[in-house]
Amino acid sequence: MTDLAYIELALTAARPQALGALLRYFRDLDTAEEAFQEACLRAIRTWPDKGPPRDPAAWLIFVGRNSGVDQIRKRARNEPLPEEAAFSDLSDAEEDIADRLDNAHYRDDILRLMFICCHPDLPNTQQIALALRIVSGLTVQQIARAFLVSDSAMEQRITRAKGRVAKAGVAFETPDVHERAERLKTVTAMIYLVFNEGYSAGIANPDSAAFCDEAIRLVRLLLRIFPAEPEIMGLTALMLLQHSRAGARFDKVGQIVLLEDQDRSLWDRRLISEALAMLDKAIRHRKPGPYQVQAAISALHARASHPDETDWGEITLLYELLEKLAPSPVVTLNRAVALSKLKGPDAALDLIAPLAEKLDGYFYFHGVRGALLMQTGRRGEAKIAFDRAITLANSPAECAHIRQQLDKLNMPMAQTV
């Protein structure tokens, strides 16, 4: 790694804290981003000679704030004086660097920066794009490649989303306990969206698969500033566990490999052991939540060295708990899969029968139903379900997987069981 590459890494790492603080000072995202950018340029110029500072974020906030103030003053010479309220207390801009970093604020600074990306008017994909641009500092080109759109289209999308956020106004006052808890919940969900965007892309699109690493980086950041939140621990564990299987989820030609068929020696044991440690910490709090339960389910798979050793009884119980904590037809569908391992396909088919209407447009529902019907030997119905699944597939890999199932259907009976 060159010095420059290392500096860039340090800048990326310091970004959420530094940009979050600059946003609080200037109360305007564009001004804050420009100021941060300027500070980064100066870092690249001066750090190689003088060495990186002990606290890169504090350095960037100090330099960024001064440069932002300069910019505003320059503009002010040509334009009418800016309103005082446009930026907060700039009078102390020459204070000592050590006092600059307002530790009492930095948690809320980072949380706010993440939270503005989660505006409820923004569709999921825009929340993801905005978070990756603003919080993670990915380039527009990187994000565009991941979403398979042109750079200019993504640029437009992000600009529009930013406009929406600016118009909505951002709450700059320090949030109270309830507001902070709400923000945490929203931000946690957004981080999981980022992860899922990468997870569902799999190896088909390496640009978006990198989102998984980014989401894990973000959730660790959130957990470092809110270390005692069991649901953030739960989400961390969940994402680490899901990500630990990245090397085993697809075969050489990019086909989906189901959990029970995966080569478990390819699972990343380091990520798994960190996840298990996180889950242990979360459970100590005795405040179960949906992320913790999903992580616990995933952990039971991770602990089984062979699919036959999977504790389906415990998994079924955990899905029941999840249905109570966060009821949804998709959770019931997952419980049905676990139940089929325990009590056979008929019990599972009974359980999902009432979901047919609600999940009619859901790929996974028809895929699961087809597989269950195939197990009971109802080939005709299985074929109809698989055909329906293919029309709803979200990716070529999903499509190919169902085709394989259809091929199995066409084989003589003896080979399918």
Contacting residues toward another protein, per CB under 8 A: 1, 3, 5-6, 9-10, 12-14, 54-56, 213, 217, 220-221, 223-224, 227-228, 233, 236, 269-270, 272-274, 276-278, 281, 284
From CA 385, how far away is CA 376, in angstroms rounded?
14
Q: What is the nearest approach in angstroms of another protein to the Cβ of residue 249?
A: 16
Q: What is the nearest approach in angstroms of another protein to the Cβ of residue 185?
A: 18
Q: What is the nearest approach in angstroms of another protein to the Cβ of residue 262?
A: 18
373: Cβ contacts below 8 Å, ≥ 6 apart: 345, 349, 379, 381, 382, 385
Using an 8 Å Cβ cutoff, are 21 and 61 in contact?
yes
Q: What is the nearest approach in angstroms of another protein to the Cβ of residue 325?
A: 22
DSSP state of 261: G
From CA 18, how far away is CA 110, in angstroms rounded?
9
The torsion angles phi and psi of 250, rounded to 5 degrees, stand at: -130, 145
Give CB contacts under 8 A, 24+ apart, made by 94-98. 97/58, 97/59, 97/62, 98/58
Using an 8 Å Cβ cutoff, are 397 and 256 in contact?
yes
Using an 8 Å Cβ cutoff, are 100 and 65 in contact?
yes
Q: Which is nearer to another protein, 238 or 337 (CB)?
A: 238
Q: Which is nearer to another protein, 95 or 280 (CB)?
A: 280
Q: Which is nearer to another protein, 3 or 261 (CB)?
A: 3
Q: What is the nearest approach in angstroms of another protein to the Cβ of residue 306?
A: 16
Task: Using alpha carbons only, give the angle 361, 363, 391 rounded to the nearest 5 degrees.
Answer: 80
From CA 235, how far away is CA 289, in angstroms rounded?
10
Q: Which is nearer to another protein, 25 or 226 (CB)?
A: 226
SS3 label, residue 250: strand
Q: What is the nearest approach in angstroms of another protein to the Cβ of residue 232?
A: 9
Using an 8 Å Cβ cutoff, are 368 and 330 in contact?
no
Q: Which is nearer to another protein, 39 or 272 (CB)?
A: 272
Q: Which is nearer to another protein, 122 or 232 (CB)?
A: 232
Q: Which is nearer to another protein, 277 or 384 (CB)?
A: 277
Q: What is the nearest approach in angstroms of another protein to the Cβ of residue 111?
A: 16
Q: What is the nearest approach in angstroms of another protein to the Cβ of residue 372?
A: 34
- Where does 340-391 show beta strands of DSSP type E? none
DSSP letters spanning 156-169: HHHHHHHHHHHHH-
Alpha-helical runs (H) found in 51-139: 56-78, 97-100, 103-115, 124-134
Q: Which is nearer to another protein, 302 or 373 (CB)?
A: 302
Using an 8 Å Cβ cutoff, are 220 and 236 in contact?
yes
Q: Which is nearer to another protein, 146 or 278 (CB)?
A: 278
Q: What is the nearest approach in angstroms of another protein to the Cβ of residue 281?
A: 6
